[in-house]
Structure 1
Amino acid sequence: MADTKKAEGVGKEKKKGGGFRETILLLVLGVGLAMLLHTFVVGSFYIPSVSMENTLLVNDRVFVNKLAGKPERGDIIVFKGWTGEDTIKRVIGVGGDKVVCCDKDKRITVNGTPLDEESYLYTDDFASGDKFDVTVPAGKLWLMGDHRSASADSRAHMEEPGGGFISEDAVIGVAVVRYWPLSRGYLFTRPDIFDKVK
């Protein structure tokens, strides 16, 4: 009888030890999976400046899809910016596009199609205070903030060696949702105006 009790006690101790090891293993696997997702699939970024108001305010937080593929006109993207820092702007032109500011109605045109940007431009802001006429090279992007008068975007870097363009290879991901603050949660969609551009 005594031997049986002793054997039962040993079994319980082994079970407790096994449960602890399983918990640690699951925890390590969970952390590893989270790191893989963050590295290759989804990233979280906070907004440090006013350049994307009112779409994004200072300290808003967004999730970006790192597997979204090539950015398209109208997408909001996070990328390695002109200074090497993570930066967020809107794609206005992609490789091959001719982007001009401005037409007689003070609108930016892409391949001759005027953009009516009221849906995302900062309240009472304008398309651009700077005139430009650029053709986006293949594999590059022309990027602008939604708060145009407060955004150091492609326009501000035109005199630099890269001509203000950003390589598609510098793109970290496409913003898909504003998740913080919760009261301003929002799922991003590409503005319809870009569907008219050919």
Structure 2
Amino acid sequence: MLIGIAAVITALVVTFIGRPYVIPSQSMEPTLHGCAGCTGDRIYVQKLSYYFSDPKPGDVVVFVGPTDSWNRHYRSIRSTNTAVRGVQNFLSFFGLVPPDENDLVKRVIATGGQTVKCCDEQGRILVLDDEPGATWQPLDEPYIQTSNPDRNNPFNPERPDIPFNAGGRAFGPVKVPAGNLWVMGDNRRESADSRYHMDDEYQGTVPISDVRGKAVFKIWPLGRIGFVRSEDPQ
């Protein structure tokens, strides 16, 4: 009886309050550690904040890939054995097995109504608010792993047609639709973020409805335990 009650409570917590996730890649270095074949950070992602408000610039969020562009390389982590897959799906309700979906973690850079582009003469991302008299504002991003590639090579205003290049340099401008987010990894050279998906139906932005929660704490390994801080770059 007690085991059953504990299982129900655990399932409710995972469904409505939050759950752990594993960082699979280096796209959020140095904030979150991960790489192929290494022990990635385990983070706790809570859902409560976004029941009452939308994600804000600087939040580190986990979201499911919203379009085929984001999910083209995803392969199911479930067993092909029907019985084993059923057990995996069951355990997922209790947070013991990851959900079978392409969950990604990035930082919110711009929100609905704002326009975002790269870059100014110092290589900084620029954001424009959707209000009369607004001007382009450069972002202050102390959390990034590396400065924008070619930081000393000013953005070329004569080539505004360049949407994005392999070095991660110029993109935009992109106006973020209402209810969506522009997200980027802190490790800009190693992050297939909104910049890589501007040809999809959302121009690379992520609907808030696809956000699973806000990363708030690193729970493993022991040497990495600590808070995941939101740092508003605007």
| Interval containing the TM-score (normalised by the shorter chain) | 0.7 to 0.9
Structure 1 position 141 matched with structure 2 position 181: yes
Structure 1 position 62 matched with structure 2 position 85: no
Structure 1 position 105 matched with structure 2 position 122: yes
* Residues 168, 192 of structure 1: alpha-carbon distance in 2 compared, 3 angstrom cutoff: closer
Indicate if the aligned counterparts of 1:130 and 1:155 stay in contact, CA closer than 8 A: no
Indicate if the aligned counterparts of 2:61 and 2:214 stay in contact, CA closer than 8 A: yes
Q: Where does 1:26-175 land on structure 2 (aligned, <5 Å)? A: 26-58=2-34, 59-69=40-50, 70-81=54-65, 82-83=70-71, 85-111=102-128, 112-117=136-141, 119-122=142-145, 124-126=146-148, 128-175=168-215
Q: Number of residue pairs matched?
A: 168
State the TM-score, normalized to the length of structure 1. Answer: 0.80
Indicate if the aligned counterparts of 1:61 and 1:180 stay in contact, CA closer than 8 A: yes
In the alignment, residue 74 of structure 1 is paired with which amino acid? G
Residues 73-104 of structure 1: CA deviation (Å, up to 9, x unaligned): 10000001121611110000110111121011
Structure 1 position 182 matched with structure 2 position 205: no
Give the superposition deviation at 1:193.
3.3
Give the superposition deviation at 1:107.
0.3
The aligned residue for residue 6 of structure 1 is: none
Identify unmatched segments of 5+ residues in structure 2. 35-39, 72-100, 129-135, 150-167
| Structure with the higher helix share, 1 or 2 | 1
Could you tell me the percent identity over the aligned residues?
42
SS at match of 2:233: helix
Give the superposition deviation at 1:155.
0.4
Q: Which has the higher contact order (CA 8 A, sep 6+)?
A: 2
Give the superposition deviation at 1:192.
4.5
Give the superposition deviation at 1:131.
2.5
Give the superposition deviation at 1:125.
3.6
Indicate if the aligned counterparts of 2:59 and 2:232 stay in contact, CA closer than 8 A: no
Indicate if the aligned counterparts of 2:109 and 2:233 stay in contact, CA closer than 8 A: no
In the alignment, residue 92 of structure 1 is paired with which amino acid? I
State the TM-score, normalized to the length of structure 2. Answer: 0.68
Residues 83-130 of structure 1: CA deviation (Å, up to 9, x unaligned): 16111100001101111210111100112221121x2101x3427423
Indicate if the aligned counterparts of 2:57 and 2:233 stay in contact, CA closer than 8 A: no
In the alignment, residue 6 of structure 2 is paired with which amino acid? G
Residues 166-193 of structure 1: CA deviation (Å, up to 9, x unaligned): 1000000000111111211121222143
Identify unmatched segments of 5+ residues in structure 1. 1-24
